[in-house]
């Protein structure tokens, strides 16, 4: 990542808050960073206002590390918990109105392609389940149907966390919440299948229990969206406050939920596989030439 993106205007450094100076001094800029280096640099302002132990913050940290071209990646967020961390990450961020993220991202992605041509500028929507599966649902679906080339990441905490615990389309049937005391009467919306039907080129469901897998999934999704078509990642990012998960049990909960009902899944179209096969680090997608045995004469 280039240092040119984050530097102080001359004379202003001494007025900047300490945590901002920390981000500039110890951020990922100018370094090659990956999951193994996590904790040795800052990809997020230390004083972000997410609740302690929130899995969403861990996931956002991983996403920022995973982006293939972070200095030229623009995240689009909206009202909801995630933007409290996203807007303080070491990459450009645009705030879309609640429900409007995928419309904003469509315009942004098209505009950036016109303006910068072949120089890749990746656009990634990251928003809550309420923002994407309920209030922004029609924009999400239409961006997929129109084959808009950007990635949509749902931070699925299965609740409206930021407004104190209403049920969302992604809440599981029967779950009783602070502001849904009668229990949810419908099933969790199957956004993963809808993404496939609507034409996404890559769809994955992840839990932040295995950081390297999360990072490689996000990287693939962003690369495929750059050239092939829309991509969708649905990430279980529990709300420890509203679901009453003790801070030190957040990762244990993630592992249990992954085993019980949120298994890793990955779908990739043939076109997307062919595209990845052209990138040197994706050897697994390269079709190996079939070795024909010479015909035995006289057999
Ligand atoms: C147009 C609009 N409607 C409603 C709201 C109020 N609002 C703010 S955050 C939020 C819920 C967010 O839930 P979700 O999208 O699931 O994200 P989470 O907070 O759970 O991460 C709502 C309804 C708003 N800011 N703007
Ligand atoms: S309310 Fe829930 S989702 Fe929001 S920051 Fe707190 S723990 Fe995370």
Q: Is residue 22 part of a domain?
A: no
Rounded distance from Cα 97 to ligand 2 centre (Å)? 20
Distance CA(121)–CA(124), nearest Å, equals 10
CA distance readout (Å), 236 to 203, 233, 268: 14, 10, 20
Q: Is residue 10 part of a domain?
A: no
The predicted pLDDT at position 175 comes to 98
Q: Is residue 79 part of a domain?
A: yes
Rounded distance from Cα 14 to ligand 2 centre (Å)? 33
The whole domain housing 115 covers: 48-285
The predicted pLDDT at position 39 comes to 87
Q: Count of domains in the chain?
A: 1
Distance CA(160)–CA(170), nearest Å, equals 10
Q: Is residue 43 part of a domain?
A: no
Rounded distance from Cα 62 to ligand 2 centre (Å)? 17
Residue with tokens 């982006």: 67
Q: Is residue 4 part of a domain?
A: no
Instruction: Report yes or no on whether pTM surpasses 0.85.
Output: yes
Closest ligand to residue 156's CA:
1
3-state secondary structure of 43: coil
Contact predicate 154/233, CB 8 Å:
yes
Rounded distance from Cα 239 to ligand 2 centre (Å)? 5
How large is the angle between the packed helices 137-145 and 101-116, nearest 10 degrees?
40
Q: Is residue 130 part of a domain?
A: yes
**From atom 8 of ligand 2, which residue's Cα is the shortest distance away?**
54
Q: Is residue 294 part of a domain?
A: no
Task: Find the CATH number of the domain harbouring 159.
Answer: 3.40.50.970
The predicted pLDDT at position 294 comes to 63
Would you give per-residue pLDDT tens digits along the chain (299 residues)? Answer: 455 666 788 898 889 888 888 888 888 777 778 899 888 888 888 788 999 999 999 999 999 999 998 888 999 999 999 999 999 888 889 999 999 999 999 999 999 999 998 888 999 999 999 999 999 999 999 999 999 999 999 999 999 999 999 999 999 999 999 999 999 999 999 999 999 999 999 999 999 999 999 999 999 999 999 999 999 999 999 999 999 999 999 999 999 999 999 999 999 999 999 999 999 889 899 887 776 666 666 54
* Residue-wise burial string across 82-103, b where 16 or more C-beta atoms lie within 10 A, e elsewhere: bbbbbebbbbebbbbebbbbbb
Residue of 95, 162, 179, 238 with the most ligand 1 atoms within 8 Å of its CB, for mutation = 162
Q: Is residue 32 part of a domain?
A: no
Contact predicate 65/83, CB 8 Å:
no
The predicted pLDDT at position 211 comes to 94
């Amino acid at each position: 990542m280039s240092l040119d993106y984050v530097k102080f205007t001359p004379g202003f450094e001494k007025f900047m808050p300490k945590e901002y100076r920390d981000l500039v001094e110890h951020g990922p800029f100018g370094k090659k960073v990956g999951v193994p280096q996590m904790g040795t640099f800052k990809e997020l302002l230390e004083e972000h206002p997410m609740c302690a132990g929130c899995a969403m913050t861990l996931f956002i940290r991983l996403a920022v590390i995973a982006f293939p071209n972070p200095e030229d990646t623009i995240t689009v967020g909206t009202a909801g918990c995630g933007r409290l961390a996203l807007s303080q990450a070491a990459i450009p961020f645009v705030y879309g109105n609640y429900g409007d993220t995928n419309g904003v991202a469509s315009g942004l992605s098209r505009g950036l392609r016109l303006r910068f041509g072949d120089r890749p500028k990746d656009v990634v929507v990251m928003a809550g389940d309420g923002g994407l599966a309920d209030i922004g649902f029609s924009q999400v679906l239409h961006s997929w149907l129109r084959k808009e080339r950007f990635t949509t990441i749902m931070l699925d905490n299965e609740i409206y966390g930021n407004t104190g615990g209403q049920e969302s389309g992604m809440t599981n049937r029967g779950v009783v919440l602070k502001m849904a005391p009668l229990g949810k009467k419908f099933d969790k919306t199957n956004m993963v299948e809808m993404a496939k039907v609507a034409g996404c080129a890559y769809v994955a469901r992840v839990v932040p229990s295995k950081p390297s897998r999360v990072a490689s999934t996000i990287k693939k999704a962003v690369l495929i969206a750059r050239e092939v078509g829309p991509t969708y990642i649905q990430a279980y990012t529990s709300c420890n406050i509203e679901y009453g998960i003790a801070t030190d049990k957040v990762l244990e909960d993630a592992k249990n939920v992954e085993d019980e009902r949120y298994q890793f899944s990955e779908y990739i179209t043939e076109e997307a596989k062919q595209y990845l096969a052209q990138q040197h680090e994706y050897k697994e997608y390269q079709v190996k030439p079939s070795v024909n045995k010479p015909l035995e004469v006289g057999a």
